Structure 1
Amino acid sequence: MIRVRASQIFTHSMEDVVAAKKLLDAGTSFEETVEKYSTCPSKKNGGDLGWMPEGNLQSIMGQDISEDKLGEIIGPVHSQYGYHILRISEIEIEKIEGPFTPDLAMEEANRIFPELHSLLFKQFRIGMPVTPYKQEETINSVCKNHNVSIQSALDVLNKEFSEKNISIISCEELKKQIDAGNKPVLLDIRESWERDISKIEGSHIINAENNEHVLSSFQKNREMVLIDWKQDRSPSFQKWL
């Protein structure tokens, strides 16, 4: 996640913000110009707004925030609140580890994390929840097409993925694990007709009615695997674990 610390000169007057910018261009310090023209309560702190999430400042600036903007005078910028002249004094980048990278194909990303599609739409209005991505599209290309910060999108995806702790294991990988003597608790979340077609010996049927009873019979620190060939129902069932 990216946090920024910024200062601003804020006014409702177009004439004042233009005059403030001319004063800055002439070499007057930011703090002096704040004192003369700003009407924001931050005026008493030299215009310092303190630390804030990247998105808060980005919504005013209308552009991505990067380290090359440190110390730069940005504006005047007009927002729904009034006129701003901004200066970014510090940037703090907290890298969130996860499987999502800029060049990862959207199809693969959606396979890893079935909720990705709806999450991107909810957070950034990227795509429609039911519209499939094209084969050549990557997280980076999709973000660029929608004017969304790639770092913001990656942070949201990796954070959400990490919190849900979702991982996908293939049938072959699961068999190797069981054959090696490391058998997890197998919870079958499929419909009855799906189990009639194929089932794994030793698995336990779990649903909304019996989940408390089934889970109470196992130690909480046991590894558990949800059996779901579609890979899109697991997130809904995971709230029971």
Structure 2
Amino acid sequence: MSLPDLVLSLADNKQMLGLRYAEWATRAPSLEADIAAAAMGLDDLGHSRVLYGCLEPLGADPRGPQRESDPASLSNLAYFDEPWTEWSQFVAANAILDTAFTAMIEACVGGSVEVLQHRLRKMLMEERYHFLHGRSWLRSGIDSGPLDRAWYEAIEWFGPPDGETATLHREGKLSMGPADLRARVEEQLEMKAPRVTIDWKTWDPVRRRSGAGAVDQHTFAMLRGLEEKKYAPPSAAKQAAS
């Protein structure tokens, strides 16, 4: 795993988080939450585009042709593999995972890599509202299942204590290592993460997750633009395929 791999994982997860937020734009418990879901979804989709745009300047774009046909080639967390069916899943993602991704962005901005310093700084201001929204709903109380799962996947995503994230921190490319990132999320949310046991031997350092699995086919088709091609006029579909 390299810095470009980490940035790609961050981009993939921000993209998936944005899509999952947007799916709740008309399903949230209140009109205000509907609007917040739509706005945060647009923010994160925009952030993912900025992050993808950082890959080439970093010197090595790890995206391969398999990303056009294989959902398992995406580096998203298992939490985003399927659409959420409960509001508590939304809240846990908003409070825990969104804050974890922001902590990593903060580590990139505080590191020594100029392209990340300059391009990601604005995200930290835009993510402030995401954090306040997630923390507010978290304090109102949600089921423990999604919350524990979100914590587990966030800690796993930060990587092992002696892994590449720690190496990037020692090299100065990130301003925080795995333990610092976890502590940062705990500090922000004013709560302690649950005790988790992670088998790092089964952890994929590129996808930053354990086990198999991938985003559902419908979402993957939407990501790749296949849905638009399916319903486009014949001339437009032919042009898109060329």
Scaled by the length of structure 2, the TM-score of the pair is 0.21
Higher RCO, 1 or 2 (CA under 8 Å, sep at least 6)? Answer: 2
Scaled by the length of structure 1, the TM-score of the pair is 0.21
> Greater helix share, 1 or 2?
2
Q: Which structure would you say has the larger Rg?
A: 1
